[in-house]
Structure 1
Amino acid sequence: MSSSLFTTPIVKLQGVSSKKAEELHALGISSVGGLIEHYPFRYEDYRIRELSEVKDGEKITVQGTIAAMPSLQRYGGKSRLICRITVDGMLLTAVWFNRAFLQEQLTPGRDIIVSGKWEQRRRHITVADSEFPDRGASKSGTLQPVYSIGGTITQAYIRKAIDKALTQFGALIPEILPAEIVSKHGLIPRREAIMRIHRPENSHEGQEARRRMVYEELFLFQLKLQAYRATHHKQQVGIVHPVNNDDIRGFVGTLPFSLTDSQKQVINEILHDMKQPFMMNRLLQGDVGAGKTVVAAVALFATVKAGHQGALMVPTEILAEQHARSLGKMFEPLGITVGLLTGSMTDRKRRDILASLQMGLLDILVGTHALIQEDVYFRSLGLVVTDEQHRFGVNQRSILRRKGMSPDVLTMTATPIPRTLAITVFGDMDVSTLRERPRGRLPIRTFWVKHEMMDRVLGFIRKEAEAGRQTFFICPLIEESEKLDVQNAIDLHMQLHQSLPELSVGLLHGRMSAAEKEQTMGAFAAGATNVLVSTTVIEVGVDVPNATLMIIMDADRFGLSQLHQLRGRVGRGAHQSYCILIADPKSENGQERMKAMTDTDDGFEISRRDLELRGPGEFFGTKQSGMPEFRLANLLNDFAVLEQAREDAAELTATESFWSAQSYQPLRDYLQREAGEQSEPLD
């Protein structure tokens, strides 16, 4: 889109008052270009069809003749207008609700066009729209675009405004894609596509227009990522880690388990990057329990052996404490020191940790977002590992990275998506994927039950306890809420004390002090507590191999990926584990989540279904990951286009001509505008 269209205020458009301009601003439309790129999300079909073509319950538009005087019924301040019309020799009943003013216009013998829901058995149309050909039909025979609206902005108003914008400024819409790409994919010209997407003559035109604009949207998104890679990634001088393979093999040999083939492959990919003179920027994704922490430990070991320090940033204090303990057990026998930094530490402990870090006496620092505070200084930061990357904003991750001289970056997530989609979405990162479970782990058996089956659930808890196993019991709230009728942890803790007097029941939630949390988790990890009632504070990373039962109350209140994360807290030992979802979901979406959880325990499949249910923007966390909300594209349905756009963008940005030839100036201008908006120079 021409930059002049985006600098032309919306009030310059005929018919847009300052008040309407404010309401359009609330929809994210501040310029003429923004209005033209406010695309419809669907179309209302007003094309006249034969009755024989229409199925029962479908929307239909027909043209007929009024056969008799209408009748008007009034009830409780509402009205129903009934009229008989003939269509193709068939007598139909048309019904309007709350349209009493039409009664005088429905005169016998007058032609009429009606659109609405068709009931075949009764030969009945519930009319949504109607018009008279003798007045000059405006909708019939067309596909009418339907836009996102709000306030006093109606569909009729925004259709008219966009129509005026296209008439007044349409000639200024430039082509932005290179001619060779337009030709390669058989795309229609940009101006024509934008005109057609707002004013399609038929379904084929609308599809061709959408195909062109979806490709462009995904191509421009990928172009930003690939241009960033070309100008920053492998040209940005990083730390060379002279990794000694014998040292790595020696460290792996000290572990009390064997690595999976998938872990070995991923470690090789990471160590290969760490040996290079450019900064590593790699995403490590894997299902819950796939062994990402061990992979991160190998990378941290490599940076320390090369004379540098490592940082591991995690989202919660419980997880930070757990990682610090597990890494300490691995590294301290080897003379490698591990420290912990969290927001709840005493001032004295914090000062000691920061002094050791700055002097280089501390090799690895594990912590929460406390790691990115201003007074945290590393002597020589060589590797930054971020666990559960979606929990941290883009800025938080970059602050930690800037605490060193271009350290290598390893980002981990247990919310896996198909590798090809990950490569495409996280285009500025290399992607490693763990698919295997550690050897000997059994699939977790998952059941969905209603609240009235609680007695049976309690019996299952007793049975597991008698076998020496432990139970997690998760609630959506800490305490009772007036607004939400769901189970809370404090009440459930008291109820379980009464229902299971022979068992020890612990309580864990986010309002407890760090010492209380550590004591509670320590007792559970040591087996002193049979049942742990908790909120989602234990969602990520908590590892208690003896826990075999995960029970989630009001499970329909949780997202699908979150449910899978919670389920992943069990099944970490050699014994069969179970997940019980207690829910009475009223929404179809809630029922779909329960079904997905009982159908599979494959995190990649769970993520695919979550993406379908929630949509890409919410799934990726637009604010957190920088993932845009696409106007037209859908990451699931348009995945093949996304991959093609990625290939085209990567190929183009790798050529010298892209950065200098006049034919690519519109794309370079676009990149410069985007870089300016994000306050980040292109090169």
Structure 2
Amino acid sequence: MSTRPPELFPLFAGLETLPGVGEKTARAFAQIGVEKPRDLIFTLPHSGIDRRLRRSIREVVLPATVTVEVEIGGHVAARRKGGPARVMVRDVATEFQLVFFHAKGDWLEKQLPSGQRRVISGRVEIFDGVAQMAHPDHILRPEEARGLPDFEPVYALAAGLTQRGVARAVQGALTRLPVVAEWADAALVAREGWPGWAEAAARAHAPQNMADLAPTAPARARLAYDELFAHQLTLALARSQLRRAKGRISKGDGALRARTLAALPFAPTAAQARAMAEIAADMAGPMRMNRLLQGDVGSGKTLVAFMALLVAVEAGGQGVMMAPTEILARQHFDSLAPLARAAGVRLELLTGRDKGAERAAKLADLAAGRIALLVGTHAVFQREVEFADLRLAVVDEQHRFGVAQRMELGAKGRAADMLVMTATPIPRSLSLAQYGDMDISLLDEKPPGRKPVKTALISTARLDEVVAHLRRALAEGRQAYWVCPLVEDSETVDLASAEERFRALRVVFGEGVVGLVHGQLPAAEKDAAMADFVAGRTRLLVATTVIEVGVNVPNASIMVIERAETFGLAQLHQLRGRVGRGAADSTCLMLYQAPLTGPGGRRLQILRETEDGFRIAEEDLAMRGAGDVLGTAQSGLPRFRVADLERQAGLMAVAQSDARALLSADPGLESPRGRAARLLLWLMEQDRAIRLISVG
């Protein structure tokens, strides 16, 4: 089934084929991401209005929306042009006014003829002691009022759309729902008491009360599950595709690893040992490894990755570690070099800087297998870089690469195993959404010797004290970071820029003591400034968030973050993780502009309470929402219309195990349930998954 099933055609037709939708309305719908009837099905109402008929407006606490039958009294015309016209009405218990602005008198007479009865519905407020309903939502003859729902759904609108127009288009789309076979696991549907897909869609658009609008309502939970299941099915297909690509069995004798461990001043943590065992087992199997190594700042990912690389070498092959920037690649090289010496294997660095004869010699040695381990930027995947026998590719800071790039990387090594590392703790629901195609190893304890970082909140009014504290620390031979929010002063945003701060601190501490690094510096200058700081030539580094990821200077024990309340939680946690890497006690000073209130204040409190990156990530998700936590645009995180990753993390896990179970039982999706799942993939526009099935 590599073309769209005909039963879905009506849902993928133009919006103009729906009642009441012309070209102009279709353009308005496009603003809220609705381009075809299928999109409308998944655009659910966000709230609702109680339209039950009341005897009198006195039965409800005002202000409120009320539906009531009234007798129409006299009309009072507007006194001035554009002023309010009023119509007096009476229900069984009291009199009140209907108010209309810019209304034509003859239209009002026709809509609300004096002496007749009408059912009106709208918001009633008390104004100058008088109850008023301005511009009723509905004016109906009593016999027509039976068509008014007791509870009316409310949709998100864009300019050019009305509630009535959206509701009418939705009803039109719902008439096109095909009869579909069940793709969800029968036991799950029975246990949760979920309706079938089409019934769930119809019910979600016809809520009977506020409870029906909750993510946990059966119809909504069912639709959310379908969305997550289709997404996880796509990831599971990608995963099985990678695994079907025959892996290489890489089994080592453990000799190089034993040598490295013997040279370490401490034993690995239980979490590190567990991750090493999981990775070695994957590499020894016939399937291709596709594993994520997720650990907090300073949890010891580098050692685990190095041990995995040694498995490749013990098995007679080569390994490569790749970082997103040259600074990080150089750091990985520096931290792996002593381990490689202990193991007695040759480790080389390859970056864009290698030129001419030196580069040619490295490439020749790599192709001949004389270099066992290579560290570099993604330049290592250029065509002229050839390995003799690449068995393992380790990729650092994965959130910079999407699923598509992961697949590309995997293609480079002939069946090379893949290990991806991230220092960004991600809440479970998000890691399943983003890395559902991978197996996950978690490092959730800190290695011995990592000291806690003391975190203090200080008002910017006390800047002088901070500078005095720094002066004492630098005099004792310590190093410090000073992180600023923006690169250049902007009139509108009163955030001290890095360049301003650099000049001010240079006056205080003298030439040659203070360095500067920010994103707009040319790469060579940035690297030079970092190298000066790493070597201890500069003692204070003024920086923007360029240093958030991976910078390792054990002697730096103070982190000052200016206007900390403007940073995100995860970012602050990453920045704080840059200190506390050496023997000295470390501090992180978060400078805030008083008064400290709202989300900014909440974020700084959380950081003061905990250093647990996973707890911080969960809090971050609760405060900001999924898209922001990962920066949706660059994260490859899917945009769900119904599913709510913050509140439905459990459903995501269920969807993942269901998708994997279905594929292991029915890899080609040929069974009746498998064929229903194919239809779901078409319905959810998971074209990539469909291509994978047709390839498979």
Which of residues 184, 188, 199 in structure 2 aligns to 1:192? 199
The whole-number CA distance in structure 2 between the counterparts of 1:174 and 1:120 is 56
The whole-number CA distance in structure 2 between the counterparts of 1:443 and 1:48 is 63
Tell whether the 8 Å contact from 1:48 to 1:140 is kept in structure 2 after alignment: no
Which of residues 525, 532, 538 in structure 1 aligns to 2:547? 538
Which of residues 180, 186, 190 in structure 2 aligns to 1:183? 190
Higher relative contact order (CA 8 A, sep 6+): 2
Paired-residue identity, %: 36
User: Structure 1's 227 and 149: CA in aligned 2 closer, same or farther, altered over 3 A?
Assistant: same
User: Structure 1's 446 and 66: CA in aligned 2 closer, same or farther, altered over 3 A?
Assistant: farther
Q: Which residue identity does 1:215 align to in structure 2?
A: Y
Which of residues 227, 234, 245 in structure 2 aligns to 1:236? 245
Could you tell me how far 1:361 is from its partner in structure 2?
Answer: 2.7
Structure 2 equivalent of residue 5 of structure 1: 10
Which of residues 16, 23, 30 in structure 1 aligns to 2:21? 16
Could you tell me how far 1:661 is from its partner in structure 2?
Answer: 2.6
The whole-number CA distance in structure 1 between the counterparts of 2:388 and 2:667 is 42
Q: Which moved more, 1:462-471 or 1:539-548?
A: 462-471
1:226 aligns with 2:236: yes
Q: Which residue identity does 1:599 align to in structure 2?
A: E
Q: Which residue identity does 2:616 align to in structure 1?
A: I
The whole-number CA distance in structure 1 between the counterparts of 2:375 and 2:52 is 64
Gaps of 5+ in 1: none
User: Structure 1's 88 and 320: CA in aligned 2 closer, same or farther, altered over 3 A?
Assistant: farther
The whole-number CA distance in structure 2 between the counterparts of 1:171 and 1:679 is 20
The whole-number CA distance in structure 2 between the counterparts of 1:321 and 1:657 is 42
Structure 2 equivalent of residue 310 of structure 1: 319
Tell whether the 8 Å contact from 2:231 to 2:686 is kept in structure 1 after alignment: no
Q: Which residue identity does 1:574 align to in structure 2?
A: A
Q: Which moved more, 1:485-494 or 1:22-31?
A: 22-31
The whole-number CA distance in structure 1 between the counterparts of 2:406 and 2:374 is 15
Q: Which residue identity does 1:222 align to in structure 2?
A: Q
Structure 2 equivalent of residue 509 of structure 1: 518
Within-5 A mapping of 1:549-564 = 549-564=558-573
Q: Which residue identity does 2:319 align to in structure 1?
A: G
Structure 1 equivalent of residue 152 of structure 2: 144
Tell whether the 8 Å contact from 2:201 to 2:219 is kept in structure 1 after alignment: yes
Tell whether the 8 Å contact from 1:394 to 1:625 is kept in structure 2 after alignment: no
Which of residues 643, 652, 656 in structure 1 aligns to 2:662? 652
Give the SS at the match of 2:665: coil
Structure 2 equivalent of residue 681 of structure 1: 692
Could you tell me how far 1:204 is from its partner in structure 2?
Answer: 5.1
The whole-number CA distance in structure 2 between the counterparts of 1:365 and 1:17 is 60
Give the SS at the match of 2:692: coil
Could you tell me how far 1:586 is from its partner in structure 2?
Answer: 8.9
Which of residues 486, 498, 516 in structure 2 aligns to 1:489? 498
1:34 aligns with 2:42: no
Could you tell me how far 1:28 is from its partner in structure 2?
Answer: 3.6
Which of residues 87, 91, 101 in structure 1 aligns to 2:103? 101
User: Which TM-score applies when normalising by structure 2?
Assistant: 0.85
User: Structure 1's 392 and 225: CA in aligned 2 closer, same or farther, altered over 3 A?
Assistant: closer
1:408 aligns with 2:417: yes
Q: Which residue identity does 1:454 align to in structure 2?
A: L
Q: Which moved more, 1:77-86 or 1:279-288?
A: 77-86
User: Structure 1's 177 and 259: CA in aligned 2 closer, same or farther, altered over 3 A?
Assistant: closer
User: Structure 1's 78 and 573: CA in aligned 2 closer, same or farther, altered over 3 A?
Assistant: farther
Tell whether the 8 Å contact from 1:113 to 1:140 is kept in structure 2 after alignment: no
Tell whether the 8 Å contact from 1:344 to 1:514 is kept in structure 2 after alignment: no
The whole-number CA distance in structure 1 between the counterparts of 2:688 and 2:236 is 18
The whole-number CA distance in structure 1 between the counterparts of 2:538 and 2:89 is 75
Structure 1, residues 294-342: CA drift from partner, whole Å, max 9, x if none? 1111111221222222121112221111111111222135442222233
Which of residues 149, 161, 166 in structure 1 aligns to 2:169? 161
Q: Which residue identity does 1:191 align to in structure 2?
A: A
Tell whether the 8 Å contact from 2:326 to 2:377 is kept in structure 1 after alignment: yes
Within-5 A mapping of 1:629-668 = 629-656=639-666, 659-668=669-678
Tell whether the 8 Å contact from 1:241 to 1:275 is kept in structure 2 after alignment: yes
Structure 1, residues 529-576: CA drift from partner, whole Å, max 9, x if none? 221101112111111122222112233443221221111101212333
Tell whether the 8 Å contact from 1:424 to 1:643 is kept in structure 2 after alignment: no
Q: Which residue identity does 2:15 align to in structure 1?
A: I
Q: Which residue identity does 1:196 align to in structure 2?
A: R
Give the SS at the match of 2:558: strand
1:201 aligns with 2:212: no
Give the SS at the match of 1:284: strand
Which of residues 382, 400, 403 in structure 2 aligns to 1:373? 382
Which of residues 316, 324, 327 in structure 1 aligns to 2:333? 324
Q: Which residue identity does 2:154 align to in structure 1?
A: V
User: Structure 1's 418 and 477: CA in aligned 2 closer, same or farther, altered over 3 A?
Assistant: closer
Within-5 A mapping of 1:274-289 = 274-289=283-298
User: Structure 1's 165 and 253: CA in aligned 2 closer, same or farther, altered over 3 A?
Assistant: same
User: Structure 1's 123 and 450: CA in aligned 2 closer, same or farther, altered over 3 A?
Assistant: farther
The whole-number CA distance in structure 2 between the counterparts of 1:386 and 1:377 is 18
The whole-number CA distance in structure 2 between the counterparts of 1:595 and 1:71 is 58
Tell whether the 8 Å contact from 1:358 to 1:377 is kept in structure 2 after alignment: yes
Q: Which residue identity does 1:17 align to in structure 2?
A: G
Structure 1 equivalent of residue 276 of structure 2: 267
